[in-house]
Chains A and B, each alone.
Chain A
């Protein structure tokens, strides 16, 4: 795998996404709206809600990136790209984008909430971003259209938001690790334990799922030659 085959798709994904100014504004404003509207129920509760709601932004952007790229990707793979190169390029840009948004959002929440452990709060929000990108790319690869993708996103993140991190179902969802870390940073959840590792493991598993889907969806022949 040549680096250029990853960097160029990553760059173009970034340009395509960042030029959608209105969508970018909405995507970054959404978790702020969740955070602000939850403050009336307590700053701790708002931190957990706002942190998990950031998945709407980052996973939403990832779903959109995957779906808009689908028809172009077919041509790019036909031209010689490996599907995993395109996926990795997209993953790199979106993770960078997600980490930056999460860092900015963490600062706002630390100032607004005054958590017991500000660093842990930041780690939890970054974990949301880390898991959101492969989650969004996997959903974007599977969903036939944007509507289905968005509904899956709303369903998964919405359920995670309504559950306590101690509930069994919450532990099966992709943002449980981050939920537990953020909750512990503001004193509403038990000790984090292995939660950060679970969050990272979930992200890696989702990236693997996205890679598998990309592989199975690839054109029948990528190589120049006879088939």
Chain B
């Protein structure tokens, strides 16, 4: 599709997304639009289709119906880290290097900086299998941030983070917004809602939302 967006058009625009897994309807006309410099939280009960919507927005699955437009590179942090068990953090960074238009050394340097900022034990050369859940999640997040994504899709990105890392994560979100990125965070934590610009609440098809919009700053 040809890019016909105006400059102020949203970086991510998902309209009336409907999706089913077999006979089970998981998304029924969900919409999500995110501008540059905006942070949006997606909330909803278990089974409301939050992760499915993120995977559709990332282009990992085709929706049954609906329209999706994305402007710019997408960085996707899945809820369950997609990592090789027996490769270490540096090897994961090296694996992404050939497609990021930079040398391996530069990508590793950029990745190590990101990991260091997130509180990853940077000197740890252990395979990811031997890392703590929080450290694996930090690597998962860092891989999504590599290469200068303009749209960040973060599906419960701080599972296993300690308090300091959690605070640091939200400071980064503020920084990404200031840099003009579109940030989408799936969350279950009501305290997070004060840290975003807007909230999209998904309901289980046939169910109701809980009117959480008032919690947004």
Binding site for B on A (CB under 8 A): 2, 4-5, 8-9, 12, 15-16, 19-20, 68-69, 71-72, 74-76, 78-81, 219-222, 224-227
Contacts and interface: CB of A to CB of B under 8 A. Distances in A.
Interface string B71-98: 1111010101011111100010011111
B86 A19 contact: yes
Contacts of A74: 60, 82
> Which of A4, A5, A79, A225 is most buried by chain B, counting CB atoms within 10 A of its CB?
A79
A65 to B, nearest CB: 10
Interface of B: 1-3, 5, 58-62, 68-74, 76, 78, 80, 82-87, 91, 94-100, 104, 127, 143-144, 146-147
A146 B210 CA distance: 40
Interface of B is mostly: loop
Given A219-B59, A226-B70, A227-B70, A9 B84 contact: no
B103 to A, nearest CB: 10
A79 B2 contact: no
B87 A16 contact: yes
> Which of B59, B72, B78, B96 is most buried by chain A, counting CB atoms within 10 A of its CB?
B59
A2 B98 contact: yes
Closest A-B pairs by Cβ, 7 of them: A80-B99, A71-B82, A221-B59, A220-B59, A19-B86, A226-B3, A4-B98
B85 A76 contact: no
Nearest to A19: B86
A8 B61 contact: no
A219 B60 contact: yes
Contacts of B1: 226-227
Contact of B96 (A71, A76, A222): A76
Nearest to B58: A78
Contact of B86 (A2, A5, A16, A222): A16
> Which of B60, B91, B147 is most buried by chain A, counting CB atoms within 10 A of its CB?
B60
B99 A15 contact: no
Interface of A is mostly: helix
Contacts of B62: 220
B59 A8 contact: no
A220 B61 contact: yes
Contact of A76 (B74, B95, B104): B95
B94 A219 contact: no
Contacts of A76: 95-96, 99
Contacts of B59: 78, 219-222, 227
A227 B99 CA distance: 20
B86 to A, nearest CB: 4
B52 to A, nearest CB: 13
Contacts of B72: 224-225
A227 B95 contact: no
